[in-house]
A and B are shown apart, each in its own frame.
Chain A
Amino acid sequence: MAKREIDLNIVDVENREMRLGSIISWDGSAEELVQNSRYEIRSRDKRKSVDGCAGKKEKGCRLCELNMPFNQQTMCSHSIVGCQVGNIPDCILIEHSPIGCSAIHARFNLGYKMGLARRGKKIENLQIFSTNLQENDMVFGASDKLRQTILDVQERFNPKAIFISMSCSTAIIGEDIESIADEMEDELGIPVIPLFCEGFRSKHWSTGFDISQHGIMRQIVNKNPIKQEDLINIIALWGTDYFTEILKPLGLRVNYMIDMASFDELAQASEAALTATFCHTLGSYMATALENEYGVPQVDAGQPYGLKGTDDWLRSIAKLMGKEDIIEDYIKSEHERVLPKIEELRKKLSGVKGFVATGSSYAHGMISVIRELGILVDGSIVFHHDPVYDSGKAEQDTLKDLIDTYGNIDHFTVSKTQQFQFYGLLKRVDPDFIIIRHNGLAPLAAKIGIPAFAMGDEHFPVGYDGIIRVGEALIEILARKKFGQVLQRHVKLPYSDWWLSQEDPFILAKHPEILDEIVSEDSTVAEIGVETVIKPEKKVSKSKKATAKSKSA
């Protein structure tokens, strides 16, 4: 076991695909993915992560991308940076880019305001600025506009820190945001933090989490920490504050990061007794940086989902806090408290099949929770896969933990919100519902009669009570099948019959030549423009639906 070196002296962050060997396109069983990820080997030798696993088919590598010639629009690292450092109330993010890169702010504002409400903070609109670049700026450079916007921000808000995010266009024209940040930091006397998060840079948006955390570690986190022995960093997003209650018996105060945290709350990260997270995909980089740099330990466990996951997670925290004496009683009483209700839910949900489509290690936790409820899961999607996390800790290998505890998942797919593949992936296992984060996929599920539980509050499934919360919500979600069935009867999907009849959603990665054969045929030309009759999609087996419905009633 070895941690990743995180060099806080340099402004750049190495991409996940280079640092961890992350992939975005893969299909197989969860067991195969665990074997091929070779977590322990990778954690020992970084080169093993990179060699052959950044999309190159090299000798000895078995975790290769299934490169598809077709992709649909997704999210980028720049967006992630926006919804991370753009959500700090007393700091301001400037997006150095044309206005289109800022077009998602109204959506971020929804999450931000909800988050402020959940954390009991003053609810105000998000303030992310754009330098609003034009064609001339692409030719002559835009440094003066960046300086102007920095000054506007300073005058209007007097923030505690300013972040600057690079976009595709400003990266290509070579804007030197690092020098301008240095210059303005001297002028203004507050941290001005450049973030190199241009969208084309990494094949997966989650690199944006690392970039945000890297900037905070370098320029905000207190470099001369005074230990706060009862403080626990929870690297989170916008979720409801369930952690305070879960951790109260251990005498811990929660310091949530990054979203909605103030400058001071971020600065004190180095003073905490330990760091944990609801999702290692999100938190591993910062947790490891805090551990390496300031000796703040991170949990030696997976994530707090399901009974065993929560038990292990609490035990690990108790051990780090020297509270092993009380933890077993706490766990025992919690089990006694929640088990009767979980049993009840298991009965109601018996025979129901679920499908999870979320970010990487969060999916592992989510599947644990629904399996804890007795729900069958034989297929799921992660939007990318990290074969190892920055901590390199074997205890944090959440996918291995999942299959060791609850068994294999026959169809476990890595696919970056690719709606066209989602159809085949759902048909392959025919679930009664999906649990989903990110956009783009759930509408397709609805159109083939499968209701979606949009897991907007990511802390919802956390801990012992999370199991109950999820079970109860699912009963309500299953009732929405009605709506999906109406759509299924009347609404057509935007995909060709040829594509919808493919059994393997990765066929084109394995046989790209199919496209040449088919497109060169004249018949295809003739097909285009012919009016298409609306055909309802093949219906999901009726008997199974009836079962699910009667259970949810």
Chain B
Amino acid sequence: MTNLWLYFSSPKTFYPLAGKLIPVFSLLAIILIAIGLYMGFAVAPTDYKQGDSYRIIYIHVAAAWMSMFIYVVMAGWAAVGMIWNTKLSDMMAGSLAPTGAMFAFVALWTGALWGKPTWGTYWVWDARLTSELILLFLYVGFIALRSAIDDPRRAARASAVLAVVGVINVPIIYFSVRWWNTLHQGASVSPEMAPKMAATMLWAMFVMAMAFWMYTIAVVLARVRSEILERESSTEWVREILARQR
């Protein structure tokens, strides 16, 4: 098992493997998005309280989940890179960040558009929305640090430290924002009062989350492949690939 792991953690063997996996995950993402949209729009009934505006949650909740998962996975890869000093894990961490930031933004954007018809305002200083915003800031800091350092190795290792520090802080930030929210109770309405959902709605949400996972894997693998080519450009096997491309 360890040998297999080591085998695929070398860029040389990972590059062709990723190339084969990308079409698979892309196809899965497209199929799952189609199923999720069909379930969410055609099968799931209109909510008796919120009307059809609730249909935003299929992407809102899935995007919010993804933004958090991706940060944890990113920090996990960063930690692996720091401990075992493997090249591939650095590249993984760096390639996950843009997609995570995108999903954090999507969660905020769809949350605002859901909030307007539901609570009557685009933005509420609610614990979840606020911590999602701070999560977006953390992603932006990670990406900014990575692009500010020219040497790719140093960039990867420095951003790895930041990701690990960030992931230790994420739960503290989340709970502090929650407590802050309870201290300042008053005008705000909490989304925790969302009505109980029907099973079809839950399933549609779950399928959309899976679809976003597949999408993320496909995009991240593609990004890692470019990164591998750039960083390993002086090796023999990359030259061979380049020769074959023409």
B partners with A: no
A-contacting residues of B (Cβ < 8 Å)?
none
B-contacting residues of A (Cβ < 8 Å)?
none
